[in-house]
Chains A and B, each alone.
Chain A
Amino acid sequence: MLDASDEGYVTEDGRRIGGVLMEMKNITLRFGGVKAITDISFDIREGEIRAIIGPNGAGKSSMLNVISGFYVPQEGEVWYKGAKRPPMKPYQVAQLGIARTFQNIALFEGMTVLDNVMTGRLNYMKTNMFQQALWKGKAEAEEVENREFVEKIIDFLEIQSIRKTPVARLPYGLKKRVELARALAAEPSLLLLDEPMAGMNVEEKEDMSRFILDVNDEFGTTIALIEHDMGVVMDLSDRVVVMDYGKKIGDGTPDDIRSNQAVIDAYLGVAHD
């Protein structure tokens, strides 16, 4: 099954997983005296769905923020595409091809779904503000080209019917989908999803799971996600990192994790005799 060599491995359902895309080496993150993450190492391979799970306050979101470059860890190194990544501003990280969604949806509420998704194409727009204001020649061609790509995403995520609806009017589940659309519009090589199923009902969760799998399958996008819902995680991901109190307590395939005693203890609690 899991082959540690750098050529990657082939999953049970025949997907080819490539070499290491991102590697976290001995990451430690502190807020003042509080250690949010203690000495954690793991890697994310090209084309895989990698989940980070753990109980409340385990440090999952902090970990995702380290990956996305939002937090700079005090110790440890982040390696991306074979090179050590220096501390960066979030926009620079985006230019590297890393896109994300947020636990508490961060969309432009007053703008339409279409405009929100178009913002995801920012890094592909070369014309400046004045050219765009005139909307002639190059700017127009550029917009048409990017709109075409955005329409494909809209079609893919089945949000055609809300294309022109202001985001503020949408229900929660759809907003989450719009956020995913915006992240996908950036054509990321690494997609980070912060609790994509939080607050959803069963049907919305099923839809979202299907979209995540389809994105991975269709575009070959590498996905790292944080999730609460164990069932969903086990069905979706290729490999899982389990965190508890800022420490890594497990790392492996869903089957490994299911039988890992430390994980069971963390989730179900241990009786103290």
Chain B
Amino acid sequence: MFRAQGGTDLAQSSQAAGGHESIPALLLRNAAEFGDKPAYREKEFGIWQCWTWKEAEQEIRKLALGLINLGVNEGDFIAIIGNNRPYLYWSMVAAQWVGATPVPLYQDSAAEEMAYVLDHCGARFVIVEDQEQVDKVIEVQDRLHQFEHLIYLDPRGMRKYDHSHLHEYAHVQEQGHAARDEFTPELEKRGQKLDYASTCVMLYTSGTTGKPKGVVLSNRNIIETAKSSAEFDHLGPGEEILAYLPMAWVGDFIFSIGQAYWTGFCVNCPESPETVAADLREIGPTYYFAPPRVFETQLTSVMIRMEDAGKLKKRLFDIFMAHARRVGPAILDGKPVGGWDRFKYWLGDLFIYGPLKNTLGFSKVRVGYTAGEAIGPEIFDFYRSLGINLKQLYGQTEASVFITVQPDGEVRSDTVGVPAPGVELKIADSGEVFYRSPGVFEFYYKNEESTKSTKDAEGWVATGDAGFIEHDTGHLRIIDRAKDVGKMADGSLFAPKYVENKLKFYPNILEAVVFGNNRDRCMAFINIDLSAVGNWAERNNIAYSSYQELAGHPKVYEMIQSHVEEVNASVAEDEMLSGCQVHRFLILHKELDADDGEMTRTRKVRRGIIAEKFDDLIEALYSGKTEQYTETEVTYEDGRKGSIKATLEIRDAKTVPVTTQKVAAE
């Protein structure tokens, strides 16, 4: 059983910690029980700065007192916007302590999107990281009726601003500390009122459809979920994690606050979003989470760099990686493997896997998770074969993340695992997955209608995903979003995501959008991956000056066509979905982007909006044209708009006739 080295046996003490029914209560417990252990680290000025639990408690206390001093009332909403930084995590806990509800927002949202959320939750206070975020809030403040005070962390460039409603984070803390005698009794009183039923946090869903919804999660949701998931993976106070995913995302809240406070492990914040890879290597987390995209990008960059490596290195890499693919996953799962194979794997670890894991920052990873999207089997197997215990989980904001997880030893790329501890699962006749658990959210804020349609009286929640449970293993398999699963004109099943995922498993394809609902054939939009295709172009002496030019290059089209045809062959093997083969496709002239509304902030495609925006292209795909002129409006990062004009080539892809497939199968 996993235990932290030396010091307090926290897992046991937390079992007995019945009275700790809120995050601030857990903070006090951690500060008392292992106050000198690191709670937060952040790299700044090139050095890892560290705060122990005791220091974190003092910082949070000062801020909480400062918030009372500024006039925060119980029941207020405090929006928090910025990159992962200890100070902002403290803001969330301080907000809870004074009886307010923290509402973290995506830091890369445009001012417009922020305005909606800030107005919807009626935040009186907003705590932001820097001038960039201050500017966004100021831009929309006239429309925010309840907005009163803005607190910023980084004073740089802020001197000239009107400070009547602006406060520097450090000053708020100072003033709170100065008035500690006056406000401490009030803070204690408010802290004691917090229990399992009180609100812990409100998180806005990314909103694949329509406006974002505010999901209210209680202390019970968060703490119970953190407790059972930490026990499931034997997480202890010795874990190290790197907090680099958006703070507004439920996963980050569970890992960096829920589990961190429950088990007392250390949360490390990167120096800047660009240095994550280097920081990961320096920290060497033991518990790691990333969406499939991160693993994909990393694998792509490893492969690209190996292409450029010397002959000997390349050869060693190929030999040992082939061996790792054969026996690595079995060794990881503790299955019987022959002595010679083990020796060869050990050698490989010495020469290739060890150094590679070190470079990637995965040397110490004991448990790694990926979720959010399907991960390509090859990508998944690559990491597992290196000896990294990468697993999949399936979850959503409404469930406080965990619905299903893969237990050690039962890890596969095509399932999302068995129900997490405390979770009940059922599949409706329509194929939609329902669950019930202690983590199930309280309600959608100011949206009773949606609450009712999502959660029934018995507490069952509709996931919106279609899937089935495998009979022999009990693992859940997800096919697609329930509302996206449709019918082709001939009545056969249409599951676009299934095909898109297969396409996206190719490193050259970043995104794919498949159309075909109520139509006779399927068509696809493809987005190339600039880093992978760009590198390929460089190695093949293909000159290009822009994304658009590269995307339209005949050689690129040829390559993508071969990928599409391979996918068609693989889709054809599945009897139920063989109708979803892609007949014609085009490569888009721009990357699908959240700023243009084509994707959510968590990078899921918004099918409806894309179909509407590029209706001329879809029309051209179905009408049999070989090229189509189009103009697309784009939004730049600073909010200005422009347009891209292009004439896109449309190609036919070979499909495998379904009937012959059946004949061949018989």
Contact = CB atoms under 8 A, between A and B. Distances in A.
Given A160-B272, A161-B275, A13 B160 contact: yes
Contacts of B271: 160-161
Nearest to B44: A155
Contacts of A203: 637
B339 to A, nearest CB: 42
A5 to B, nearest CB: 24
A247 interface: no
A116 B159 CA distance: 30
Given A151-B45, A151-B46, A152-B45, A160 B274 contact: yes
Interface in A174-224: 203, 206, 210, 213-214, 217-218
A154 B46 contact: yes
A161 B46 contact: no
A163 interface: yes
B47 to A, nearest CB: 8
A13 B161 CA distance: 10
Nearest to A13: B160
B280 to A, nearest CB: 13
A148 interface: yes
Nearest to B159: A217
B84 to A, nearest CB: 15
Interface in B277-297: 278
A203 B278 CA distance: 26
Contacts of A214: 156-157
A14 interface: yes
Contacts of B159: 217
Contacts of B272: 158, 160-161
Contacts of B47: 151
A127 B157 CA distance: 36
Contacts of B44: 155
Given A148-B45, A160-B275, A161-B272, A14 B160 contact: yes
Interface in B41-80: 44-47
Contact of B46 (A13, A14, A156, A163): A163
Contacts of A206: 638
Interface string A134-167: 0000000000000110011011101011011000
A54 B119 CA distance: 49
Nearest to A162: B274
A265 B272 CA distance: 47
A217 B274 contact: no
Contacts of A14: 160
Contact of B156 (A15, A151, A160, A218): A218
B446 to A, nearest CB: 38
Nearest to B277: A161
Nearest to B132: A210
Nearest to B638: A206
B156 A161 contact: no
A151 B271 CA distance: 12
Nearest to A14: B160
Contacts of B637: 203
Interface string A94-122: 00000000000000000000000000000
B278 A161 contact: yes
B45 A155 contact: yes
A35 B275 CA distance: 50
A218 B278 CA distance: 29
Interface string B216-250: 00000000000000000000000000000000000
A151 B638 CA distance: 28
A210 B278 CA distance: 27
Interface in A8-59: 13-15
A213 B159 CA distance: 12
Contacts of A163: 46
Contacts of B160: 13-15, 217
A152 B45 CA distance: 6
A15 B157 CA distance: 13
Contacts of B274: 160-161
Contacts of B638: 206
A48 B275 CA distance: 34
A160 B276 CA distance: 11
A202 to B, nearest CB: 9
A217 B156 CA distance: 9
Given A160-B274, A160-B275, A161-B272, A217 B46 contact: no
Interface of A: 13-15, 147-148, 151-152, 154-156, 158, 160-161, 163-164, 203, 206, 210, 213-214, 217-218
Given A14-B160, A151-B46, 19 more contacts: A15-B160, A147-B46, A151-B45, A151-B47, A152-B45, A154-B45, A160-B46, A160-B272, A161-B271, A161-B274, A161-B275, A161-B278, A203-B637, A206-B638, A213-B157, A214-B157, A217-B160, A218-B156, A218-B157
13 contacts: A14-B160, A15-B160, A152-B45, A154-B45, A158-B272, A163-B46, A210-B157, A213-B157, A214-B156, A214-B157, A217-B159, A217-B160, A218-B156
